[in-house]
Amino acid sequence: MMTVRTRFAPSPTGSLHIGNVRSGLFAYLYARHNHGTFILRIDDTDLERSSKESLEEQLADLKWLGMEWDEGPPDETYFQTNRVARHREAALKLLRERKAYPCYCSAEELDAKRKQAEREHRRPVYDRKCRGLDLPPDLALPDKSAGRNYTIRFAMPLDGETVLDDLVKGRIVFQNSELDDFIIVRSDGSPIYNFASILDDVDMHVTHIVRGDDHVSNTPRQMQMAYALGFTPPAFAHLPQVMGPDGSKLSKRHGATSVVAYREAGYFPEALLNYLARLGWSHGDQEIFSKDELIEFFGFEACGTSAGVFNAEKLLWLNFHYLKARPLPQLVAEVKPFIASRGWTIPGDDAWLERAVATLHERAKTLVELVDFASFYLNDDIELDAKAAAKFLKPEIAEPLRALAAELAECAGEFNEAEVQAVFESVLARFNLKLGQLAQPVRVALTGGTVSPGIYEVIAVIGKRRTVDRMNAAVARIEHPA
């Protein structure tokens, strides 16, 4: 029985795009479902745009998502730039066997032919002018410094068909006569991506290539190159594109499109994995999957053939689900780096932070939002909303606030919600007030606004000293307006 081997081959030229990661995720799930091998290969032949920073960010993103690889970095043999000698060797083999040939056409000549084809409403394909020329006696790859100023073109079969039995799209038949003789080695001697990629795939014994359907047109060319090199090409699964809500290809104008952007925005890896898996694949009516369930149920037969539309609101809803279900100790550990990134010091231990988070975790949808909501717990220098202060911090409430602060200061117990409630009830009775008449001014004084968790639990979390200080500051503001 064949051992499934899939790969994900990002280029370290920027952040990992959501659409690209979705293809990598499906490759990962298929390998895991079939107890196979998942390979991470770094296609870094774009030397001008590739960077160490991008590579490190991408590796961190994949580890954060939990897409662990079985083969790949730090092993240097999985970097495409370290395989250039192998690519050149294979190109020479094709030359020697006359399955490829030197093309001496200049860029200007090719451009003129392209424009002529456009004027005549023909497809601008290469006319194979150099295909029948005699090969040079010193058969070698291009090298301008040595006087070998040409490109190498692959000699496509002139008749017959290339048949792709795609695992998602079904059978696609390409007429070889409609496929041109494309360049596989540039005039500077560097192999093109399509040639290097399929050679790496067959050398690494990849059995299934999973990628976006924008690569379908490359597939018959890559299949023919594999045949010419004496290999059986892998199976292919071409996934429909990920589109924005307006029907165009997902891009930055639709909002965040990279994994790192969602990581930094306080999303959970489980939410992003869950959402991307459902973007073009389904299992009945189930919406929420654990990673183990995704692996158990995944198969290409359940992949759709129409484009997936990225819905940021649905992803946010999923993240909200995972945040609510998070065990509090885990949530505390995960929120700490986001607090530190603000430069804030946590005014308590983990148990205190857990109590604070417990009052907010069913309100916040992301870790960043959770920190935003918790700002009044974490900082004493709170800014009061001007409208809220004007509405609730009026002269007639100064004395009840002062009395409440004094009674809270005298509490000798654990300062829990029950004790806070008893003090409130005492002050309400003394001044003949309803809860709302006192609770809202207190809320503004403690949190800066009019919306917060229950006032008793807020006070219990903030603590006696900090609560009394803020209430006395509110009284001073009322009595001595700036």
Angle, vertex CA 9, rays to CA 153 and CA 55, nearest 5:
115
Which of 328, 349, 369 delimits the end of a domain? 328
Provide the number of structural domains found in the chain: 3
Buried b (16+ CB within 10 A) or exposed e, 350-377: eeebbbbbebbbeebbbbbbbbebbebb
SS (H, E, C) 414-470: CCCHHHHHHHHHHHHHHHCCCHHHHHHHHHHHHHCCCCCCCHHHHHHHHCHHHHHHH
The per-residue pLDDT for range 395-426, each reduced to its tens digit, is 999 999 999 999 999 998 788 999 999 999 99
Best CA proximity match to 380, nearest among 478, 474, 454? 474
What 3-state DSSP class applies to 159? coil
When pLDDT is cut at 50, 70 and 90, the band that residue 226 belongs to is: very high
- Check whether 152 has a pLDDT greater than 80: yes
Which of 239, 273, 300 delimits the end of a domain? 239
* Catalytic residue (one of 63, 144, 249, 252): 252
Q: 211 and 182, same structural domain? A: yes
Q: 371 and 469, same structural domain? A: yes
Q: What is the mean pLDDT of residues 313-325?
A: 96
> Which residue is associated with the tokens 């484009």?
307
Q: 176 and 124, same structural domain? A: yes
Q: 209 and 134, same structural domain? A: yes
Q: For the chain, what's the residue count? A: 482
Q: Which two tokens stand for residue 168?
A: 């998602």
Active site residue 314: no
314: CB partners within 8 A, 6+ apart: 275
Domain that holds residue 280: 252-328
Q: Are 121 and 115 in contact (CB under 8 A)?
A: no
215: CB partners within 8 A, 6+ apart: 238
The per-residue pLDDT for range 446-480, each reduced to its tens digit, is 999 999 999 999 999 999 999 999 999 999 999 98
The pLDDT of residue 236 is: 98
